[in-house]
């Protein structure tokens, strides 16, 4: 269909359309004639009427406005904010159905983008034992004026209690949904958030105003570990020291589970904390997480997998794929704070970790000292510039490479050096099966896929981790 004809479909209603599947981006797929339509909150098997909201060059985007038949794979969402918050878009799908489509996302990427043909061992996806309250870190935003529902807007009555402490509405940097209960982090996370909000309102401590760029309170970050201990980081607009002290003391005294309190001052236009310096206010300087007797210290800005229990399962799979005997030199690329490097060190002769962020490398070294491991070496810098023939000459060519890159995957120069290393095995851990498959296709002249396993780290979302074992041809 031509683009001009597509434009005529804007706001039109297409009736009795069957939802055919789920796309990698988490949206449901429907087809009408020769057109693909993407919609939110559809389930395969639904028969619906769709109103077209956007016309794109290659597809249409729509909104379900009526159900004629509901899919058997549907389930009732458990969160009152479902459909507005945007954080857990698959709550309407049974967990078994979620896992099915996450598995399909990984295998489709491997086969279609990676151009990998069988035989390889496809291990069934590992689901998460916890599908609620599984996260160990959440960030909330203060706003002086909350997102209003259509009913509130159309009601015409004066609305009070406009302050919000919650999540940004998808696509709107200045619109914040006030959250009553979030099902992502264990209690007392909700209790802490609601207590801080109530204290601030009672004591006239201003929430941030995105229009005027004023207001003391900007964000809170809540972290926790498996022991049930919490860390809270309060992000504030600079100034108003007396109010800052009052709310920080309130947090310290009111929530015994919060064993560590920090704050940061942010007077910038944006909410990024990457360049902000945490100020320790009370309690310990870090949380400690444990895996198989290994300890990992987590500071206010430390990276740590946000589903702790499932991260342990993910790392076990990576270690199992590596099949270490104690004789291997292992390179851990994109090592972060050295979690995987520490985790496999006792089964390897030596582990070399490389990471872009200097602060993360500092934490990695601290973790290895904490765990009394003396066979780890860490280097900081751009991976494409660090992983060179000279680096491998200095540290030795790896027998095994474990790589866990960001969503964008690996730079072509890094892939070239991996091939040049002639490592016998590569264990590729990825949070983006599409870029993982792209990189695997580049490696395919020298390496063959042997095993693939998907791991669900984030139930009720479209996100999935993929672990692939490649062996040298």
Question: Is residue 266 within 8 Å of 243, Cβ to Cβ?
Answer: no
Instruction: Name every residue whose Cβ is closer than 8 Å to that of residue 377 and which is 6 or more positions away in sequence.
Output: 350, 351, 352, 353, 395
Active-site residue 182, yes or no?
Answer: no
pTM of the model: 0.92
User: In this structure, what are the phi and psi dihedrals at residue 323, rounded to the nearest 5 degrees?
Assistant: 45, 60
Confidence of residue 159 (pLDDT cuts 50, 70, 90): confident
| Statement: residue 2 has pLDDT above 60 | no
Question: Is residue 396 within 8 Å of 375, Cβ to Cβ?
Answer: no
Q: What is the overall mean pLDDT for the chain?
A: 94
User: Angle at which helices 433-443 and 412-421 pack, to 10 degrees?
Assistant: 50
Which pLDDT belongs to residue 58?
Answer: 84
Which pLDDT belongs to residue 86?
Answer: 84
More confident residue, 1 or 197: 197
Question: Is residue 454 within 8 Å of 466, Cβ to Cβ?
Answer: yes
Least confident of 81-90, 186-195, 366-375: 81-90
pLDDT digits (tens, 9 = 90+) for 125-154: 999 999 999 999 999 999 999 988 777 777
H or E element at residue 322: helix 308-322
pLDDT digits (tens, 9 = 90+) for 255-314: 999 999 999 999 998 889 989 999 999 999 999 999 999 999 999 999 899 999 999 999
Confidence of residue 173 (pLDDT cuts 50, 70, 90): confident
Query: Strands, E, within 70-145: which ranges?
Result: 121-126, 137-143
The CATH number given to 137-287 is: 2.40.50.1070
For the chain, which residues make up each domain, given as ranges? 3-69, 97-131+307-472, 137-287
User: In this structure, what are the phi and psi dihedrals at residue 340, rounded to the nearest 5 degrees?
Assistant: -65, -40
What distance in Å separates the CA atoms of residue 349 and residue 340, rounded to the nearest whole number? 15
| Statement: residue 216 has pLDDT above 90 | yes
Which pLDDT belongs to residue 131?
Answer: 98
Q: Residue 102, class by beta-carbon neighbours within 10 Å (0-12 exposed, 13-18 middle, 19+ buried)? A: buried
- The class of domain 3-69 in CATH terms is mainly beta
What is the Cα gyration radius of the chain?
Answer: 24
Q: What length does the chain have?
A: 473
Scanning the structure block, which residue is given the tokens 């200095």?
A: 394
| Statement: residue 1 has pLDDT above 70 | no
Question: Is residue 114 within 8 Å of 448, Cβ to Cβ?
Answer: no
Backbone angle region of 171, left / alpha / beta, with phi > 0 → left and psi within -120 to 50 → alpha: left
What distance in Å separates the CA atoms of residue 334 and residue 402, rounded to the nearest whole number? 9
Q: Among residues 335, 299, 298, 329, which one has the least CA distance to residue 315?
A: 335
Q: Do domains 3-69 and 97-131+307-472 have the same CATH topology?
A: no
What distance in Å separates the CA atoms of residue 248 and residue 235, rounded to the nearest whole number? 11
Scanning the structure block, which residue is given the tokens 């985007």?
A: 61
pLDDT digits (tens, 9 = 90+) for 405-434: 999 999 999 999 999 999 999 999 999 999
| Statement: residue 3 has pLDDT above 60 | no
Which pLDDT belongs to residue 239?
Answer: 79
Half-sphere exposure of 396 toward its Cβ, with a 13 Å CA cutoff?
A: 14
Question: Which pair of tokens denotes residue 320?
Answer: 């199992």
Mean pLDDT to the nearest integer, 34-51: 94
DSSP letters, 136-187, are: SEEEEEEESSPPPPHHHHHH-S------EEEEEPTT-TT-EEEPS--SSS-T
Q: What are the Cα distances from residue 280, in Å, to 35, 112, 445?
A: 56, 49, 51
What distance in Å separates the CA atoms of residue 200 and residue 220, rounded to the nearest whole number? 13
Which pLDDT belongs to residue 6?
Answer: 63
Which pLDDT belongs to residue 342?
Answer: 97
Q: What percent of the chain has pLDDT over 90?
A: 86
Q: Among residues 229, 216, 204, 235, which one has the least CA distance to residue 140?
A: 235
Q: Give how far the C-alpha of residue 378 lies from the chain's centroid of Cα atoms, to the nearest Å.
A: 25
- The class of domain 97-131+307-472 in CATH terms is alpha beta
Set 79, 88, 182, 431: catalytic member? 431
Which pLDDT belongs to residue 411?
Answer: 97
């Amino acid at each position: 269909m031509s683009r001009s004809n597509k434009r005529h479909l804007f706001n039109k209603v297409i009736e009795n359309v069957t939802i055919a599947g789920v796309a990698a981006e988490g949206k449901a797929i429907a087809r009408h004639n020769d057109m693909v339509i993407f919609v939110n909150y559809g389930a395969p098997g639904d028969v619906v009427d769709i109103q077209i909201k956007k016309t794109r060059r290659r597809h249409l985007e729509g909104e379900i406005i009526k159900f004629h038949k509901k899919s058997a794979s549907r389930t009732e969402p458990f969160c009152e904010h479902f459909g507005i918050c945007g954080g857990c878009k698959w709550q309407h799908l049974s967990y078994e159905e979620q896992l099915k489509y996450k598995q399909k996302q990984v295998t489709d990427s491997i086969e279609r983008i990676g151009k990998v043909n069988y035989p390889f061992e496809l291990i069934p996806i590992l689901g998460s034992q916890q599908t609620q309250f599984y996260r160990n870190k959440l960030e909330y935003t203060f706003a002086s004026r909350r997102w209003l529902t259509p009913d509130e807007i159309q009601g015409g009555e004066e609305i009070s209690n406009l302050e919000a402490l919650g999540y940004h509405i998808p696509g709107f940097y200045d619109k914040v949904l006030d959250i009553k209960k979030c099902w992502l982090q264990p209690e007392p996370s909700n209790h802490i958030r609601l207590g801080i909000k109530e204290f601030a309102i009672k004591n006239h401590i201003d929430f941030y105003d995105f229009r005027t760029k004023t207001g003391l309170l900007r964000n809170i970050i809540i972290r926790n570990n498996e022991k049930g201990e919490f860390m809270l980081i309060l992000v504030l607009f600079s100034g108003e020291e007396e109010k800052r002290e009052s709310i920080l003391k309130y947090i310290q005294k009111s929530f015994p589970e919060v064993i560590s309190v920090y704050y940061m001052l942010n007077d910038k236009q944006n909410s990024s904390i990457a360049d902000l310096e945490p100020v320790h206010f009370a309690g310990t300087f870090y949380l400690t997480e444990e895996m198989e007797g290994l300890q990992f210290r987590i500071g206010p800005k430390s990276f740590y997998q946000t589903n702790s229990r499932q991260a342990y399962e993910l790392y076990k799979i990576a270690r199992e794929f590596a099949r270490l005997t104690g004789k291997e030199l292992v390179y851990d690329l994109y090592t972060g704070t050295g979690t995987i490097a520490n985790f496999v060190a006792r089964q390897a002769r030596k582990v070399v970790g490389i990471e872009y962020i200097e602060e993360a490398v500092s934490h990695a070294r601290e973790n290895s000292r904490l765990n009394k491991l003396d066979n780890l070496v860490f280097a900081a810098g751009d991976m494409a510039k660090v992983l060179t023939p000279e680096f491998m000459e200095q540290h030795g060519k790896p027998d095994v490479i474990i790589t866990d890159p960001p969503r964008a995957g690996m730079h072509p120069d890094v892939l070239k050096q991996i091939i040049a290393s002639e490592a016998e095995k590569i264990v590729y851990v990825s949070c983006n099966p599409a870029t993982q498959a792209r990189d695997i296709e580049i490696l395919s002249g020298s390496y063959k896929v042997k095993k693939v396993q998907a791991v669900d780290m984030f139930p009720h979302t479209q996100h999935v981790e993929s672990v692939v074992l490649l062996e040298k041809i």
